[in-house]
Chains A and B, each alone.
Chain A
Amino acid sequence: MAEPWEEDEGPVKKFMFVNRKAPYGTIYALESLEVVLISAAFDQDVSLVFTDDGVLQLKKGQTTDGIGMKNFSPTYRALEGYDIEKLYVDKESLDARGLTEDDLLVDVQVMGKAELADLMDEQDVVMSF
C-alpha cells in the first residue's frame, strides 16, 4: 500500500533548509546538502536559504586540493535536476563578504533579511545547518 505522501495528492509541506556555515571547516554544509537531496525524493515544496558564511557554499571556483577534502560545490548545480529551484541568498551576508550574485555558481534570488523572515514564516518545516 502506498504511504500517504506517495499518493498523487499526498500532503505537500513547505520545507526550508537554512545554510549558515562555510562549505569547509565543518561538515554542516555537506550534511545539509545530503538532507536536501533526499527531500527531493518526497515531492515536497523545498527551498534553500544561504546566510552568514553559508553564502560561501555557492561561491564559484572552489578548489579543495590543498585541504584534502572533496569539492562538493558542483552538486549545487545539480539541484535544478531534482526540481529544487528555490535558492534564496541573504544580501547583507553577500555584501559583508564582498560578494555579488555574479560570484555564485547557480541562479539564486538575492533578498534582504526582512523578506527572508517573511518566507521563513510561511514554512511548515525549517531546518538549519
Chain B
Amino acid sequence: MKFGLLVTTGPYQHQASDTALQYCRAALEKGHEIMRVFFYNDGVNNGTRYTTPPQDDRNIVNAWSELAKEHNIDLVICVAAAQRRGIVDEGEAQRNGKDGDNIAEGFRISGLGQLVEAGIECDRVLTFGG
C-alpha cells in the first residue's frame, strides 16, 4: 500500500513524531511504500538541524534524516508553517533576509499542495499528532 503521513506536532514534547518514525520503519519492513511525510503545524520543528538533545536521548531529527537517506523518502516541511516558526532553507533565508538556514538533511520546504497531492496519490493518509 502507498502511504502518506502528516505529522502535526514537534519532536520531544509529544510522542507523535517518534510514533510516525516507527510507523514508517514498520510499513517499509512490510514492503509498503511511504510516498511522503508532510510536516505541518508545530510538526515543522522536526526539520531543524540545530536540535541538540542530551547524549543519552534519541535524536529524532537525525532519525528522520537517516530514514530519508536509507529509503529515499520525501520529507516535506510546509513553507507557511515553517516561516512562522523560523525553519528556513538556503533559498528561504535569502528571500527573507535571514543570516542563515537551519533545515536538516533530507528535508525540503514546499507548499501545502504537497499535502493535498499526497491525499490524492496515496491509498491512505495517516495523521500523527494533534
Residue pairs across A and B with Cβ atoms less than 8 A apart, 12 shown, are: A13-B119, A13-B120, A15-B116, A27-B84, A28-B130, A31-B41, A34-B112, A38-B115, A127-B127, A128-B130, A129-B41, A129-B130
Q: Interface of B with A (CB < 8 Å)?
A: 6, 8, 40-41, 80-81, 84, 111-113, 115-117, 119-120, 125, 127, 130
Contacts of A15 on B, CB cut-off 8 Å? 116, 119
Residues of A within 8 A of B127 (CB): 127-128
Closest chain-B Cβ to A69's Cβ sits at a distance in Å of 13
Main secondary structure of the interface of B (DSSP, over half): helix
* B11 smallest CB distance to A (angstroms): 18
Q: Is the CB of B111 within 8 A of A38?
A: yes
Interface range on chain A: under 10, 10 to 19, 20 to 34, or 35 or more?
20 to 34
Q: How far does the Cβ of B115 sit from chain A's closest Cβ, in whole Å?
A: 7
The answer to whether A78 has its CB under 8 Å from any CB of chain B is: no
Answer whether residue A82 sits at the interface, using C-beta atoms and an 8 A cutoff. no
Contact of A125 with B by CB under 8 A = yes
- Complex Cα distance A42/B113, Å? 8
